[in-house]
Homo-oligomer: A and B are copies of this chain.
Amino acid sequence: MDTCQTGTIDITGCRVSLYPMKDQFANHILTSINETNTSAVWQQTDLFSTLYRGEPASVVDAAAALFINARDPQTHLVGEFTFSKGCPGDHAGDSYLNGQQATPNIVNNQNKGTFAVDCKYSFYAFGENNYMEEIAAIVALADEYGLHPQSAHYVTLLSGSASQLFQYFEAALAYAHKHLSHYVLEATISVNSPSKAVPDHV
């Protein structure tokens, strides 16, 4: 799991789990997996999640598309995302580290990602003496992206459009990729929760 040696692993990854709260959830998930352009990332689906691995921008691009493609106005959908760099594993995916940072879903994500989302997330940095400053930098970046970060127990809350949120994650991962050898960003994104009385579009 976390038996990580720092400084040796350059590949970024994301585990995405989709939870469409509806009877026909399985087809909903599979359709979105098929609609997502994964030409720029290594991918694998297991019992819990779909994994994307590659360069930071490409991983966020695919993870964003998977969630954005799965959203429909009638469904309460939650996505759970674990972005990370620095954990060893196999070398599957290393062939995607070609320096291109390709984002083949970007137009789709911008066009379809205008709906409002809520997010809870935590950022963890390992093996750094100044990790508190790095976390503060990541949260400050959320403010710059207009996502109104607010503290809650064990997490920070964000709100904005889906497209805005994933643009922030791309910036956060680019920062983390440059400054940190090992980090984890855990995020849960919710859309169309019946607990919200606000309209779906920002």
Q: Which A residues lie at the B interface, using CB under 8 A? A: 1-3, 13, 15, 17, 19-23, 25-26, 44, 46-49, 51, 53, 76, 78, 80, 82, 84, 87, 89, 118, 120-124, 126, 131-132, 135-136, 139, 149, 151-156, 184, 186, 188, 190, 193-196
Contact = CB atoms under 8 A, between A and B. Distances in A.
Contact of A1 (B2, B135, B194, B195): B135
Given A1-B156, A118-B47, A118-B48, A76 B25 contact: yes
A3 B137 CA distance: 11
A195 B152 CA distance: 34
Nearest to A121: B1
Contact of A154 (B15, B26, B195): B15
A80 B51 CA distance: 18
10 contacts: A1-B123, A19-B78, A21-B25, A23-B23, A47-B190, A48-B155, A53-B153, A80-B80, A82-B122, A154-B184
A190 B19 CA distance: 11
Contact of A17 (B122, B151, B188): B188
